[in-house]
Structure 1
Amino acid sequence: MPDYSALWETHTLLEGETLVCCVGPLTLRIHRKRKDWYVSHEQEMQIDDQRCSLEILREPMNRGFEWSRWILDEAMDCVRLEPSLPDRSIIVRPEMLMTVMPKQTVEFYIGLPLWLSISFGSAGKTAVEVPTYTLSNSWFGSFTEGELCYALKTTARLHLAELSNSAHRVVFPLNVKNLSKETLAFERICIRPQHLNIYQGSERLWTGRGRVSYRGRRAGAVWSMPQARRIWAGPIKRSATRVKPSNVVHCYVLLIILNSGWMFHDGVSTQLVRPVSGNGYLLRAAAGIRAAVSAAVQLSDS
């Protein structure tokens, strides 16, 4: 079982000391000199997934590693590590096509890659973020409009006991309700991790739970905000982008590819109000009770 207790602290290094942190396939080295710090990291995919350790060594900087240099205007003797999530959206594809039968509710568990945020000084800003393992790139959208994402395949486990205790993964629970009389086929999901908090559980790292209710091809789907679980000990890393609550339907920042098309919204609270002409739906977006704006969301019939 991974033990993160020693990782999320402020670590003091003397000049000439090296912090070595190992999380799953990642080995991270941070070496301190007087006013500059050096960071090196490498990945070995055959390493034990549960590996999670940290130690401070008194040793010279090994020139055999590839280092990056971070220069400060004053001497600082401490470095801090925090858990983080990838800096782009993630296109998650199941290993095989998943279909939810009509009037059924399921919960999937998806393992997202853990990143480590590094900051220098007791209250320093994040200098660099390092992935515990590298994902391949993917493109979402048309040739003229879209975004660069990461690609990830998932087994989408239904039972928590089936998940391995991998130190380099953060568990994202996704609750899906198919309220329609149709089958609901999942091809891929686009998750925007910048809106997710990270929580420390008793055995794993977690994000908030995403919820989606599918009401059929015409009505579309409604997303709800992540909610805390009792086993979580509060967020140890809050998202950089906060979503404000409101009195309308709270929609979670997720894009889902269905057999009937795709729907996208960008992290504000949204409510589906009426269909519009063409291949689209109108979403009413609200960042609170006072203000409301409208945004067009395209649905593809291909």
Structure 2
Amino acid sequence: MSPWWLPVAVDSGQSWQYTLGPLTLYLQRLRSEWLLGHAILHDQDDRYLLRSRSISQLPELENVQRFIFRESPGHFCLKPKLLDRSVVVKTRKQVSIPAGEQAVFYISSPVVVEVTVQQPDCKLAEITSQRLSDTWFGPSTLHGELCYADKTQARHSRTDLPLRPHRAITAITIENNADSMLVLSKLSIPVPYLAVYGLADGSLWTDPITLQHDGNLALTRFKISKHLPAGVAMTDRIAEPRQHIEKQGLIRAFTGIFND
């Protein structure tokens, strides 16, 4: 893969197709307007695609939007951002961590693609790269939050990570400080609080997080690590968090994180 968040120059009258996993974006620049449409595939065999090319014309799409300018900007740029809600991931296999142990898992979540034109800069739209269903996460209907639902392999080795241009990887350290076995079937990733980092190999990473379990299922400590994963540097930061952590909101958001 290669970085897909760099600007692309487009001549007036030229059309462009950009495919990121299941999402395909269609853009056309005219003298005084830009056209933008998209399509999302559900065929999982196509989720690793990364393709950028000029096309003769836009296909027939119902969601094409028009953006009018006195003179249309000459570049477009796609920027990855994280979702606006936490993502609840259900592990495909149950995971158990003995008392006093800790484990690191690499879990990815789909990004939102911010489409902008440049020179001058103007944000056109934000488009989710993969559709996720809604889910409620919390101990009751009164306490918790509305999240997105996803599934994960909860990979324990970084070398096992597949290359997927539309998903950002979060390194999650889980510390079991209790005196009993910790059994995980799902957990919540607070992606709105995390920044995005883009590497030269085209992969996307987020701030790493640590979840500390002390034996009380009602409360779990959460912190964003100051130490980025190996190979990721602050200079690779390409998107800021959508939200900043507030202490009281943090407790509500992560109540019951390890409950089935």
In which range does the TM-score fall when normalised by the shorter chain? 0.7 to 0.9
Could you say which residue in structure 1 is the equivalent of 2:189? 191
| Bigger helix share | 2
| Greater RCO, CA 8 A, separation 6+ | 2
Q: Percent identity?
A: 24
Cα 1:242–1:124 shift into 2, 3 Å: farther
Q: How many residues align?
A: 250
Query: For the residues of structure 2 that align with 1:210 and 1:60, how far apart are their CA atoms?
Result: 44
Matches within 5 A, 1:102-181: 102-122=99-119, 124-141=121-138, 142-143=140-141, 147-181=145-179
1:13 deviates by 2.0
Structure 2: runs of 5 or more not aligned: none
TM-score (structure 1 length as normaliser): 0.73
What is the 5 A alignment of 1:51-90? 51-57=49-55, 59-62=56-59, 64-75=60-71, 76-90=73-87
Scaled by the length of structure 2, the TM-score of the pair is: 0.83
Quote the residue 1:268 is aligned against: none
Unaligned runs of 5+ in 1: 262-302
Aligned equivalent of 2:204: 205
- Matches of 1:135 and 1:61, distance apart in 2: 27
Distance 1:253 1:173, change over 3 A: farther
Give matches, 1:249-268, under 5 Å. 255=254, 257-259=257-259
Correspondence for 2:221: 222
Rounded to whole Å, the distance in 1 between the matches of 2:232 and 2:175 is 24
**Which structure has the larger Rg?**
1
The alpha-carbon distance between structure 1 residues 40 and 252, as it changes in their structure 2 partners (threshold 3 A), is farther
Map Cα deviations across residues 203-249 of structure 1 (whole Å, 9 max, x no partner).
421111111222222894322213323401421222233459xxx9x
Measured at CA, do residues 139 and 28 of structure 1 come closer, stay the same or move farther in structure 2, by a change above 3 Å?
same
Q: 1:236 aligns with which of 235, 238, 245?
A: 238
Q: Quote the offset at 1:52 in angstroms.
A: 1.3
After superposition, the CA RMSD in angstroms is 2.8
Distance 2:135 2:89 in 1: 10
**Counterparts in 2 of 1:254 and 1:218: CA distance versus 1, 3 Å:** closer
CA distance in 1, matches of 2:252, 2:20: 28
Helix, strand or coil for the counterpart of 2:257? strand
